[in-house]
Amino acid sequence: MTHHYRVIVSASPKQITDRMGSWIEGTVEPLDPERCMVQFGGTSADDVAFWLGVLGADFEVVDSPELSAAVSRIAGRYARAVR
């Protein structure tokens, strides 16, 4: 089953579509020249959190406590790796 999550990404729509290519299910909607709303689909929040990390841009989870928790877990893991 695919779950869908929405995030605001601090990058132009073109930057995100170029970066995403065909490797992830999602849509990109421009908000302004430097931000876009991205809807990602994935088998789990953890999978989508991973893909968000490789976009190379800051982002804000819009409406998913599950995705927020997954991002927090990954952030903690990376923070512990560089102590």
CATH at residue 77: 3.30.70.250
pLDDT of residue 27: 87
Report whether 48 contacts 67 (CB < 8 A).
yes
Q: Specify the DSSP element, H or E, that contains 5.
A: strand 3-9
Strands of the chain, DSSP E:
3-9, 25-32, 35-42, 59-61
For the stretch 19-64, pLDDT in tens is: 887 666 778 999 999 999 999 888 899 989 998 988 889 999 999 9
Domain count, the chain: 1
Report whether 13 contacts 28 (CB < 8 A).
yes
Domain that holds residue 61: 3-81
